[in-house]
Amino acid sequence: MVATEKRWLKHYPENISKEIDIPIQQMLKDTAAKFPDNEAISFFTRKMTYREVLQLSIAFASALQANGLKKGDRVAIMLPNCPHYIISYYGILMAGGIVTQVNPMLVGRELSHILNDSGAEMIVIFEPLLPVLQQVENETPVKKAISVNFPESAKDVAPAVTFEAFMSQATGQVKEPNINPAEDVAVLQYTGGTTGRSKGAMLTHRNLVANVHQTYRYFESEFNIGEDRVLTVIPLFHVYGMTSCMNLSIYTGAANILLPRFDLQEVLETIKREQPTTFPGVPTMYIAITSHPEAEKYGINSIRTCNSGSAPMPVESMRAFEKKTGAVILEGYGLSETSPTTHCNPVFAERKPGSVGIGIPSTDYKIVDLETGTKELPIGESGEIIIKGPQVMKGYWNMPEETEQALRDGWLYTGDIGKMDEDGYLYIIDRKKDMIIASGYNIYPRDVEEVIYEHPAVQEAVVVGVPDPYRGETVKAVIVLKEGQSVTEEEMLDYCRQHLAAYKAPKLIEFRKELPKTAVGKILRRTIKEEERKKYEQQQS
């Protein structure tokens, strides 16, 4: 039986539209008009209302234009979660620019690639990261760096201008360009995709507004408009944090409780002080809270709903967290290319642990054969997941061939392997071919391997994700050294830590005399991954 019909729609209650119209609107302006005095941001001791956030975003937009920003120009943001992130993001969009998302943990070579690929001439950057920018600045298009610090600096930091000094250049005027929501790109969301170097997924204004509206309609019964408090520990540079925390909070008039990193004690103290009602996260965060012996003393029962994404949520961990908090974890699925949400377990129908739920409004999906991608498979059979909907990206920035490969006949080919049950619930069998997900971060083995291959003693290397009960997966490198060369595990680990973002650097190194290969000499990554899986299962039994 083929899943041509949208069998998942039978679960929708009458109040949820099965298809939605996409409103063209400016969410921050609308919410600031409705709830001007509501708390928009809580950042440690600092509180900001929606009126303040809007005014500061307009001022930032004005300063950008005073510095020559034109419609379509890219501005990079390389910040941890903080008020400046939201102000910069919305200011760039108001000025007609394109937000270029940059992970603050990237090292020089990785930052250089994104800045050159996007052509960003301005960057808003966390002041302690200026040395990373300085390493590569001369080989990038960047002409102006705007630095942010906590507490805010009182003086300029060469070669940057402080956020406050930059804001003082605002003229008070913003010439908002005409935006075609369906065509104009709002955000470049960098992703490794399924192959090659990091690619910029072009997310249009309509993509982003659509995904917020789709998510809102899907969970409408869970929102208390103008009253919710969202704990935002997921990084805003990540597409999941950008939409499910920042943009959705602004759409619903919620308070965004920002934390720059996940520190368990800090998170618990924040929960006790701020009493959040919603906590989008990744499995490692929920597992850490569950494992804390005194978590209940921090008032964690204020949390009603948790959306888990970015990595599979172990069923036992889900149950343990829910028992401890009384909250409900709803596991979902999405990609950078889909703004990101496409699926989630519903609050209005059966929740199936182990599945990522059903499609959100206006989202269509199929399972197709791996060979041609043209044949829809019967219920229960595994194949490639393909998706269609208003949240699907316009394409990859300056990569027409990759775009043509990913977007075919209106469908996004995800590269993820999954199956659908008779109720339309989706199950992820394997993530993007070789991608590793550790603590919710996407790691592409090729990125790590390229660095390892640059070591003079390395002849061959393959990087795989090995099961890890806390991080989900841990990065392991299996290496063959050149004849006569000698390197210790610790030396190789140190080398990787120097040349890769901390979350990408291997935690495990194994040296071998040879690697398994195909008849034509291609390294069999899957074989090594399978060996590691079996080892792990034996250890657990």
Per-residue pLDDT reduced to its tens digit, 91-145: 999 999 999 999 999 999 999 999 999 999 999 999 999 999 999 999 999 999 9
Q: Can you give the three-state secondary structure of 62-108, one letter per residue? A: HHHHHCCCCCCCEEEEECCCCHHHHHHHHHHHHCCCEEEECCCCCCH
pLDDT of residue 83: 97
Q: Percent of the chain scored above 90 by pLDDT?
A: 70
Asked if the model's pLDDT at residue 219 lies above 50, the reply is yes
Domain at 436-540: CATH code: 3.30.300.30
pLDDT of residue 255: 98
H or E, element range at 496? helix 489-499
Calpha distance 239→520 (Å, rounded)? 38
**194 falls in which pLDDT band (50, 70, 90)?**
very low
Least confident interval from 98-107, 148-157, 165-174, 498-507: 148-157
294 alpha carbon, distance to own chain's centre: 30
DSSP state of 351: -
Asked whether 199 and 245 are in contact (CB, 8 A), the reply is no
Per-residue pLDDT reduced to its tens digit, 361-399: 999 999 999 889 999 999 999 889 999 999 999 999 999
Per-residue pLDDT reduced to its tens digit, 45-81: 999 999 999 999 999 999 999 999 999 999 999 999 9
**Nearest 10 degrees: CA dihedral of 20, 21, 27, 30?**
-110
pLDDT of residue 312: 73
Asked if the model's pLDDT at residue 319 lies above 80, the reply is yes
Least confident interval from 228-232, 316-320, 392-396: 316-320
pLDDT of residue 315: 77
Asked if the model's pLDDT at residue 193 lies above 50, the reply is no
Per-residue pLDDT reduced to its tens digit, 463-492: 999 999 888 899 999 999 988 999 999 999
The predicted model scores a pTM of 0.86
* Topology (CATH level 3) of domain 49-177: Rossmann fold (3.40.50)
pLDDT of residue 211: 96
pLDDT of residue 518: 65
Q: What is the mean pLDDT of residues 299-325?
A: 86
pLDDT of residue 470: 87
pLDDT of residue 24: 40
Calpha distance 129→501 (Å, rounded)? 13
Q: What is the mean pLDDT of residues 333-358?
A: 94
Q: Which two tokens stand for residue 15?
A: 């109040």
Per-residue pLDDT reduced to its tens digit, 1-26: 555 567 777 787 766 655 444 434 58
Locate all alpha helices (DSSP H) within 13-78, ordered by sequence. 27-34, 50-66
Domain range list for the chain: 49-177, 436-540
CA–CA distances in Å: residue 468 to residues 123, 160, 292, 437, 462: 36, 41, 19, 10, 18
Least confident interval from 35-39, 214-218, 252-256, 312-316: 312-316
Q: What is the mean pLDDT of residues 522-535?
A: 86
Average pLDDT, whole number, for the chain?
A: 90
Q: Percent of the chain scored above 70 by pLDDT?
A: 93
